[in-house]
Structure 1
Amino acid sequence: MGLFDKKPKIFQGVQAARIRFDSDSGSGDDDDWLGALNSRKRQKRGKLDDGRYVDPNRSLRHKKAFEHRIEGLRFIHAADVASLALKCTPVLGAKEDEVAVRLQYPSLQRRERYELVWGKDKIDAVHSIIAVVQHVADTYLTEDQAEPFTNHMTGIVRRLEKASNHRVQDLAAFKEALNEYNDRLWNLVKDGTITRNLDGRKELPRNFIAFILEQVYDRTVAPKVELLAKYENGTDNVYGELLHPFISSILVEKLQMTSDQVFVDLGSGVGNVVLQAALEIGCESWGCEMMENACNLADAQVKEFSARCLLWGIAPGKVRLERGDFRKNSRVHDALKRADVILVNNQAFTSQLNDDLVRMFLDLKSGCKIISLKSFVHDHKSASNDVGRTILEVEDMTYPEDYLEGLQAGLLVSE
């Protein structure tokens, strides 16, 4: 069967304020996106208590992270972006020569430097450190192993919180708890507990994924975010971001992407979605962006992302970012031919660019799914040269407004 012997189907988004995706999407009703198309994959995948399906072939452990310490590993320490030198204020009653601490991650890699300081729009050192300790306990340890970290009376998390309470501000107690955390985690890494536990997992908690991505963003994009405000509406050079919950809802819950698939983001901005797909799904993840400032920040994110994944001991999918016009990039065209899912944040694209995209879709493989933020089919059925209407079948979908902040979303399926 040729690619378009049968009309592909596009699920076009319409704004639906305060409407959330149906949690009973497996019931067989009209809200069960692509149920028939994904039935074979569902049979091969595990199922979590919350109904999400898990890729049984996903390998989470980053082997290099546990082989040896990579002396040349470079990453942006928290102290590089939030410090006394950057006019931040000491916390916990610390003097200037008492603010420096280090934080162990669940791998053999070196510890991150923090300064116990606070500054507006800067990394909150105390909050960040406590969050890392909590994520390590929740994600890398069994309930029994996590007891010294999470016990509600004597656990390390509780002691860190108590020492940083605004009424107490006990620097010595905070450092004592942090040092115990560092020592305990290091021993768990050295005796193989962390690697064994990671090998027993096939997925990562959503809040943990968001935390890693936020760590990367806070160290690379946030300090220079003003560079993204220089682009004008009315052109193809408009910057906007999609939120983590929306991407998870589409790629994982609805499309059930797996680690052996290929994802492509056309107009990838600073690379947020590309990195999320690589981390959350473990798939090969491509992006292409033409705005120079966004490209520069995306490159910085990729470098930090790779280093952060090593720190956390997590193996992401392969990431590849391209610069320039995706219509003219041969590597992007080759990736599109292999793609299983394509994202096009085309809400602000010109009509000409959207028409050019539809023509690019003619080369997609059977079964490729396209998520678009604006329909590729003209509003008027009588529109001439409407290639989109010729090759696409449209169906509406809904999404919560807090996922996209008023944008529209669609899904194209070619069979």
Structure 2
Amino acid sequence: MPLLKAKSATQSVRVEKVVVKKAVKKVTAPTPRSSLAPNGSLRATSDASSSSPRLLSPNSRAVARTKSASPYPSSSDERAGRKRTLTQRRQNTPRDSPHFGPDDSDDDDDEDPFAKKRKVISTWRDPHRRLRHKKAFGDDIRSPNIIHGADLASVKTGCPPAFGAPEDEVAVQLQYPSRCRAERYELVFKKDRIDAVKDIKQVVKHVAETYLTEEQAQPFIDHNSSFYRDLEKAANEKRCDVPAFKAALNSYNTSLLSLVEDGSVAKNLDNMHGIPPSLVDFILTQVYERTVSPNVDSLNKYQPGGDNVYGELNAPFVREILQVHGGLTSEKVFIDLGSGVGNVVLQAALEIGCRSYGCEMVENSCNFAEAQEKEFNARCLLWGIGPGRVRLERGDFRTNKKILEVLKEADCILVNNKAFTPALNAALVSMFLDLKPGCKVVSLVSFILGNEKNAINDIANNIFEVVEDTYKEDWVSWSRAPGRYFVSTRK
């Protein structure tokens, strides 16, 4: 009998071990929520993450980008997505990472929306960030070398006047929050061209919400009586009043210039340490629409089966990488290996204020990137915002001296290696031997598991700790479906 008891006790221990393993699988595998929150709290559920795209999007398919498409959310998407994004930031963002989540609840429907915006700005967690552009508020009025809205959308470029206005009355100017000359627009409208009326209203709104105190912003954005309200009334489809629109715009220009001249705007910027994501997206959209959008179709001309297939990570995905995974601040270094037209590099420099590097070898993409960088620098001056230092390199990142040098300083690296060959991914692993401990490498394909029969890359396995995560729907340009990505931390 004692021997029988001993054997049964041994069997019960084995049974307990099996039960524990099954219990873990039951908790993680069927949970579809992992695909809704690509964050640290759900990283352990890699099985759920990998299966969630099939659960959420059984009919996933790539959607072609339109000619004027931008990787940044349009203004119509901002209001719908803002509350969801802020809620996720409160739950998911590390304490040492910059973000725009309010400290207290933002569910009070009776609270003034402008007051909410001010609260959001005040909780940016990078006290070392300095926003004011050093050259934007000097004694001299500057003429930034921008591509004006009227250069791309005007009567001369074949756009009919908005509101049915006479052609000789469509020219207007729009002042920005700096000592720079105004941007030229024409009140015209044509599909896939810059929408002057929409652009002007959005600039007025962003200036009031971000650059001004609540008291200063009242004449700009008050719901009952303000420049913004007058612009909306004048642009109403049932009442197309061109003189009223131009009068409201002139009043806005005069009032903003007064606040710039007396130092109020510069002082307000000095008290800020971050930019709302909605303004980041709007500025980058302005840059993209003036440089890439007019010829975006040419980006699809690549050689199938190679390493140079083009695809964009959209702004919300980039924001997740920079803030949540990278934990970047203005004092850190970001690198995008295979940076395409430079979207991610520019977003990091503007939103985070960090040193931001990119490297691309496709000539067409490099040309777009240079055009974007030039327009980006000019528009940052126009908006009075000092971005982080940007450097976009041409050539192969495996041999580019500057990139190899700065890799040793990097805090976060992005590699959109979705279409990279196994040989190129293996070469990247060898480059990563020089990374400093703690550096994050975010990739679309795992470096530990190769592309051929899931073979394990021993070098990557030795130097990295890898976590699998899930990006959300509409976070990449080549598909509307969610998908997997990987965060590798240098040991």
Question: Is the TM-score greater than 0.5?
Answer: yes
As a proportion of its length, which structure holds more helix?
2
Shift of 1:227: 1.6
Map of 1:411 onto structure 2 = 487
Contact 1:288-1:324 at 8 Å conserved across structures: yes
How far apart are the structure 1 equivalents of 2:456 and 2:206?
A: 55
1:391 aligned partner, one-letter code = I
Shift of 1:348: 0.7
Is 1:182 aligned to 2:236, yes or no?
no
Change (3 A) 1:140 1:21: closer
Task: Show CA shifts across 1:308-362 (max 9, x none).
Answer: 0000000000000000110010101011111110000001111110010011000
Map of 1:322 onto structure 2 = 393
Shift of 1:253: 3.3
The more displaced of 391-400 and 207-216 is 391-400
Map of 2:424 onto structure 1 = 353
SS at 2:474 equivalent: helix
Contact 1:47-1:54 at 8 Å conserved across structures: no
Is 1:122 aligned to 2:193, yes or no?
yes
Is 1:195 aligned to 2:266, yes or no?
yes
Is 1:331 aligned to 2:402, yes or no?
yes
1:49 to 94, 103, 119: 103
Number of residue pairs the alignment of both structures matches: 396
Map of 1:5 onto structure 2 = none
Change (3 A) 1:168 1:386: same
How far apart are the structure 2 equivalents of 1:302 and 1:314?
A: 15
Is 1:63 aligned to 2:134, yes or no?
yes
Contact 2:227-2:248 at 8 Å conserved across structures: yes
1:387 aligned partner, one-letter code = I
Shift of 1:179: 0.2
Map of 2:467 onto structure 1 = 395
Is 1:80 aligned to 2:151, yes or no?
yes
Map of 1:244 onto structure 2 = 315
Change (3 A) 1:45 1:159: closer
Structure showing greater radius of gyration is 2
SS at 1:408 equivalent: strand
1:399 aligned partner, one-letter code = Y
Shift of 1:256: 2.5
How far apart are the structure 1 equivalents of 2:460 and 2:405?
A: 22
Contact 1:15-1:408 at 8 Å conserved across structures: no
Map of 2:324 onto structure 1 = 253
CA-based RMSD = 2.6
Map of 2:305 onto structure 1 = 234
Shift of 1:14: 4.0
Task: Show CA shifts across 1:5-48 (max 9, x none).
Answer: xxxxx998747446999957877xxxx68x6xxx6x46x99974
SS at 1:395 equivalent: strand
Contact 1:53-1:253 at 8 Å conserved across structures: no
Gaps of 5+ in 1: 1-9
Identity of matched residues, %: 54
Shift of 1:292: 0.6
Contact 1:369-1:411 at 8 Å conserved across structures: yes
Map of 1:383 onto structure 2 = 455
1:272 to 334, 343, 353: 343
SS at 1:202 equivalent: coil
SS at 2:136 equivalent: helix
Map of 1:159 onto structure 2 = 230
Change (3 A) 1:150 1:346: same
1:115 aligned partner, one-letter code = E
The answer to which structure, 1 or 2, has the higher relative contact order (CA under 8 A, 6+ apart) is 1
2:103 aligned partner, one-letter code = D
Task: Show CA shifts across 1:54-94 (max 9, x none).
Answer: 11100010021001446453110000011111100101231
Contact 2:410-2:436 at 8 Å conserved across structures: yes
Map of 1:4 onto structure 2 = none
Shift of 1:150: 1.1
2:484 aligned partner, one-letter code = Q
Q: State the TM-score, normalizing by the size of structure 1.
A: 0.89
Change (3 A) 1:302 1:401: same
How far apart are the structure 1 equivalents of 2:139 and 2:149?
A: 23
Contact 2:50-2:470 at 8 Å conserved across structures: yes
Change (3 A) 1:45 1:238: closer
1:373 to 444, 454, 465: 444
How far apart are the structure 1 equivalents of 2:210 and 2:90?
A: 27
Shift of 1:200: 1.0
Q: State the TM-score, normalizing by the size of structure 2.
A: 0.76
Change (3 A) 1:334 1:234: same
1:413 aligned partner, one-letter code = T
Change (3 A) 1:134 1:90: same
1:401 aligned partner, one-letter code = E
Contact 2:155-2:188 at 8 Å conserved across structures: yes
The more displaced of 337-346 and 244-253 is 244-253
Contact 2:337-2:360 at 8 Å conserved across structures: yes
1:281 to 352, 357, 360: 352
